[in-house]
């Protein structure tokens, strides 16, 4: 039976043994759709995260998707175009159950203003990365990546430890909300600014944020005390980062680490300019978009100028993937890209081996299923320091949101081995229900974004979008249950393309075959992508694991 959801009472958390669909594959995808809304930021408007990332285009489209999932046979494929189901077609039992293409606009037209107009007409919606693909698992979805970034900085700059260090950031939404907990897990004293008091309150309620300061003076005093005591602490501050960052700089305070995860990618529906209330911004979104975009970009100029000031004074400053440097440069900050992107600066050696944010969701709704898989990870990968460290920390610190889920950075072969072993546990009844496996779209072969994932690739292939398209086609050929191709919407329009995948471990031999082919080929292509760009780590992985790379 579904569980009550105190945050969104109209969107219960799915679970239980009873099926509404004709099989567990269909039921799994239905529950994942329900789950992203149960943990979403604004489910009444189908928004999951990032201001505009939606689970479906409209409520009629949502109802049609639900109806199709509950009625379809295993030899049919549901075709979804930008959040709206358009066909339920006869394929075969090894074909994907759902294929999606969300927000893909022809190159010369892929601009924010075109997207907004198409959205206004009801012709398109942006799926974010994992929102429209029904793969979002709450703030936990990005928390390990954020933690690993902080730990790479600790190793590089601070002797392997962030205790006694001040981290300044902003943004407590569906993605940025992971930052306070990740920073605290890394041992830091972290200050997180957000304009929306409700977001800060939510992060505190779910255990991701410890304190909310009444003003900047109090926040800095709390951080200063924690730094002196080398005590991990997360503090939220309700305010505008474009005002708070320059004020901290004006006071001569230099944090050890500075970043930002506000919704700077979207100047209309995401970022809030300084001097404007949330209500004022909302009133301009329909008919004052030009004014709002100009005001947002002007604020971002001040925001990023303060970040560059911190950088000049010795802080470790990085872009966390929200397009803030791009917006600042377009606003006149010529040296905005002196701030590095997190992927190139800290994580590229992992991506070159296709080690990235893998995830799984217990469709039973039972936390005990995740606990058993945690044990399994420790049994299977005892010498993998990233995994063993992470699972121990996750068990201690990370609360579940929606369906119990876990994320762990696993690479080629590791993902497949874990998923197939979990499928055996489902078959034996050791787990209380099937498990859905997925990953973030920010994965080795799955995303092109020249200002985030593929910035400054060794061979200059930053903007080539073939790889996620090949990945999606390969995943369809490899029998995945759900395959999606997403491109950017809002401020991300024209900047990115990604692919996503979900495969269900329902305990059957057919599931074992799907997991083996889809997960293995997905990471194999990721390694090949980086080998094609000339990364030594990828060639080592190909040689060590016998990946079928064709040399030219």
Place of tokens 């790379």: 549
d(CA 244, CA 249) in angstroms, rounded, equals 9
State the pLDDT confidence band at 51, using cuts at 50, 70 and 90: confident
Prediction pTM value: 0.94
With contact defined as beta carbons under 8 Å apart, do 281 and 272 qualify?
Answer: yes
In the DSSP assignment, the letter for residue 430 is: S
Structure confidence by residue, pLDDT tens digits, 234-288: 999 999 999 999 999 999 999 999 999 999 999 999 999 999 999 999 999 988 9
With contact defined as beta carbons under 8 Å apart, do 220 and 190 qualify?
Answer: no
Q: What are the boundaries of each domain within the chain? A: 24-120, 140-340, 348-545
Residue 487 pairs with which residues in a beta bridge?
497
d(CA 195, CA 506) in angstroms, rounded, equals 43
Among residues 241, 232, 239, the alpha carbon closest in space to that of 299 is found at: 241
With contact defined as beta carbons under 8 Å apart, do 326 and 266 qualify?
Answer: no
With contact defined as beta carbons under 8 Å apart, do 422 and 33 qualify?
Answer: no
d(CA 189, CA 175) in angstroms, rounded, equals 19
* Domains 140-340 and 348-545 alike in fold: no
Structure confidence by residue, pLDDT tens digits, 196-238: 999 999 999 999 999 999 999 999 999 999 999 999 999 999 9
Among residues 59, 196, 207, 79, the alpha carbon closest in space to that of 485 is found at: 79
With contact defined as beta carbons under 8 Å apart, do 58 and 46 qualify?
Answer: yes
Structure confidence by residue, pLDDT tens digits, 148-204: 999 999 999 999 999 999 999 999 998 899 999 999 999 999 999 999 999 999 999
Question: Which superfamily does CATH assign the domain made up of 348-545 to?
Answer: Urocanase superfamily (3.40.1770.10)
Tell me: pLDDT of 50 over 90: no
- Which of the listed CATH numbers 3.40.50.10730, 3.40.50.300, 3.20.20.150, 3.30.70.1880 matches domain 140-340? 3.40.50.10730
Locate 223 and state its tokens. 């951080």
Tell me: pLDDT of 470 over 90: yes
| Residue 308 backbone dihedrals phi, psi, to 5 degrees | -65, -35
d(CA 73, CA 26) in angstroms, rounded, equals 8
Q: Report the SS3 class of residue 207.
A: coil
Helices 385-397 and 140-157, interaxial angle, to 10°? Answer: 120
């Amino acid at each position: 039976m579904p569980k009550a959801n105190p945050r969104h009472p109209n969107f219960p958390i799915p679970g239980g043994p009873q099926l509404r669909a004709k099989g567990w594959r269909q039921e799994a995808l239905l529950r994942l759709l329900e789950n992203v809304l149960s943990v979403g930021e604004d489910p009444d408007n189908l928004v999951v995260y990032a201001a505009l990332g939606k689970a479906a285009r409209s409520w009629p489209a949502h109802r049609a998707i639900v109806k199709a999932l509950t009625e379809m046979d295993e030899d049919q494929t549901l075709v979804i175009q930008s959040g709206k189901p358009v066909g339920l077609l006869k394929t075969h039992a090894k074909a994907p159950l759902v294929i999606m293409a969300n927000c893909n606009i022809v190159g010369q037209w892929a601009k924010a203003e075109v997207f907004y107009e198409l959205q206004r007409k009801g012709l398109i919606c942006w799926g974010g990365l994992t929102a429209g693909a029904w793969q979002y698992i709450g703030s936990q979805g990005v928390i390990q990546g954020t933690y690993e970034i902080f730990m790479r900085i600790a190793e590089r700059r601070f002797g392997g430890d962030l205790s006694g260090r001040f981290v300044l950031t902003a943004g407590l939404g569906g993605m940025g909300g992971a930052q306070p907990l990740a920073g605290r897990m890394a041992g830091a004293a972290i200050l997180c600014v957000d304009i929306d008091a409700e977001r800060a309150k939510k992060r505190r309620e779910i255990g991701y944020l410890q304190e909310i300061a009444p003003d900047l003076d109090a926040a800095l005093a709390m951080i200063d005390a924690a730094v002196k005591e080398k005590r991990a602490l997360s503090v939220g501050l309700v305010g505008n980062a474009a005002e708070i960052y320059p004020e901290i700089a004006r006071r001569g305070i230099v944090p050890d680490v500075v970043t930002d995860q506000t919704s700077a990618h979207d100047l209309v529906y995401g970022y809030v300019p300084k001097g404007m209330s949330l209500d004022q911004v909302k009133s301009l979104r329909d008919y004052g978009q030009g004014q709002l975009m100009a005001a947002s970009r002007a604020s971002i100029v001040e925001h990023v100028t303060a970040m560059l000031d911190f950088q000049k004074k010795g802080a470790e400053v990085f872009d966390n993937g929200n397009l803030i440097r791009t917006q600042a440069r377009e606003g006149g900050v010529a040296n905005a890209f002196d701030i590095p992107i997190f992927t190139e600066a800290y994580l590229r050696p992992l991506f070159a081996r296709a080690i990235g944010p893998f995830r799984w969701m217990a469709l039973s709704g039972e936390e005990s299923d995740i606990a058993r898989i945690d044990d399994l990870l420790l049994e299977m990968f005892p010498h993998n320091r990233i995994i063993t460290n992470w699972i121990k920390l996750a068990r201690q610190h990370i609360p579940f949101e929606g369906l119990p889920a876990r994320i762990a950075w696993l690479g080629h072969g590791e993902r497949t081995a874990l998923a197939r072993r979990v499928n055996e546990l489902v078959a034996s009844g050791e787990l209380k229900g099937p498990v859905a496996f997925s990953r973030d779209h920010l994965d080795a072969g799955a995303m092109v974004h020249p200002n985030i994932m593929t910035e400054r690739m060794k061979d200059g292939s930053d903007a080539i979008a073939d790889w996620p398209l090949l990945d999606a086609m390969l995943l369809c050929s490899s029998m995945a249950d759900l395959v999606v191709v997403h491109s950017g919407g809002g401020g991300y329009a024209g900047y990115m393309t990604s692919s996503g995948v979900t495969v269900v471990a329902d305990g059957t031999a057919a599931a074992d075959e799907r997991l083996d082919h889809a997960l293995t080929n997905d990471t194999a292509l990721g390694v090949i992508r980086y080998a094609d760009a000339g990364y030594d780590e990828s060639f080592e992985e190909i040689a060590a694991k016998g990946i079928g790379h064709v040399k030219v």
